Amino acid sequence: MAMLLQMTTFLTQYLYGANNNVPKQSDALRIGILSTAMINSAALINPAKSHGGVIISAVASRNFDKAKKFAKQYDIPKAYGSYEELLNEPGIDAVYISLPNGMHGTWAKKALNAGKHVLLEKPFTANADEARSLVQLAIEKKLILVEAFHWQFHPAAHSLKAILDTGKYGPIIRTYARMTTPKGSIPRSDIRWQFGLAGGSLMDMTYVISSTRYFLGAGTPREVAEAKARPTSQDPRVDEAMEATLRYDIDGRMVESKIYSDMWRANALGVVPRIWETPSIEIETEHAVIYFYNFMMPHLYHYITIHDKRTGKTTTEKHYSGGPQWGNRGETWWSTYRYQLEAFVDMVHGREPAHWVTLDSSIAQMDTIDMVYEKSGLGKRLPTPDDVDPPRVA
């Protein structure tokens, strides 16, 4: 289902972007892209069309012909046949890194050392040790670095968080976050299945941990009570699926949070793909059971149901713009990526963003991922060695 959501986002953002081109400002942020990954169009290129403060200036690939083709397709002025060439370009202010997971840390460090701000795709790094090293460098360089958890920038996420924070429904008792993709949707040749590129379902579907932590307002769990991986038949080191139970200390209370990620979800009755299983989270509090359907791509469609245990009534909410953090900013057609870009530009220009994913949060995110992998017996992921040339699919 996650793949279908992304494809739908590509289409909608292309259509909205084409109809909402705006003139570029003289001080527009010039961004370069490291990789020719499919996600680039939805995550940055199309959102940038409606932002006067952003110009996509260059794209780089380890294959120059591929970079040129990509640049021509998306009307990007410059193409480079190596990532280093783009980072050495003085006209680039920031970079968006959508390389394979195991390469995130290495190239984010190189970008920071080249004086570029960094919008870094999730997961932040291969593991928490690498995350700490990267964060320290960003602090030393006084440059902006942020993990691209785009969903957190959407008004729907903020609205639910505000409801929880009021305490109207009492403290959180438990949570359950799920994200699946129908069996066969991700080809076995895809980089997400490769251990050497820090692949695995929990790495790719790290949203289940991100959503849990965001709504709990938590860092790392007190413990991972249990974690069960379903390894791929091709490589027992890579999780095809992962389910785990995390235990958090929240204001002196223990909250039990279950997570489930599955990149090869079996069809219902062996035939029907479970396309209804959008990334969702259920949150039970003392007085309510709250369900956020499609938290990952709420701009396409979502709903938040609140079942009040005291009255037995269920109410439904939807939030596509405004909200407690954006106020009058934003449009109903803005995607999560467009909201994210708005915040990124604000941060680079020294303005207070409506929302932000802190560096401490990204470290806690990787700490949690490491804890789950270690509990499962698979062991934490490792950075891709710098001298390894990955398959030319990103």
Residuewise pLDDT in 10s, the chain (394 residues): 555 555 565 555 555 555 688 999 999 999 999 999 999 999 999 999 999 999 999 999 999 999 999 999 999 999 999 999 999 999 999 999 999 999 999 999 999 999 999 999 999 999 999 999 999 999 999 999 999 999 999 999 999 999 999 999 999 999 999 999 999 999 999 999 999 999 999 999 999 999 999 999 999 999 999 999 999 999 999 999 999 999 999 999 999 999 999 999 998 877 788 888 999 999 999 999 999 999 999 999 999 999 999 999 999 999 999 999 999 999 999 999 999 999 999 999 999 999 999 999 999 999 999 999 999 999 999 999 976 665 544 3
Side chain identity at residue 141, one-letter code:
K
> How far is the C-alpha of 286 from the C-alpha of 238, rounded, in Å?
38
Cβ atoms 223, 244 nearer than 8 A: no
Among the options 122, 141, 161, 258, which is catalytic?
122
pTM of the model: 0.94
Domain boundaries, the chain: 2-150, 162-331+358-376
Side chain identity at residue 196, one-letter code:
G
Residue 136, token pair as written in the block = 């320290």
Residue 380 appears among annotated catalytic residues? no
Give the length of the chain. 394
Alpha helices for the chain (secondary structure H): 2-19, 39-40, 46-49, 64-73, 83-87, 104-113, 128-141, 155-166, 201-204, 207-216, 323-326, 336-348, 359-376
Instruction: Identify the CA nearest to 241 among candidates 335, 367, 376.
Output: 376
In CATH, the number for domain 162-331+358-376 is 3.30.360.10
Domain 2-150: CATH superfamily, name plus number? NAD(P)-binding Rossmann-like Domain (3.40.50.720)
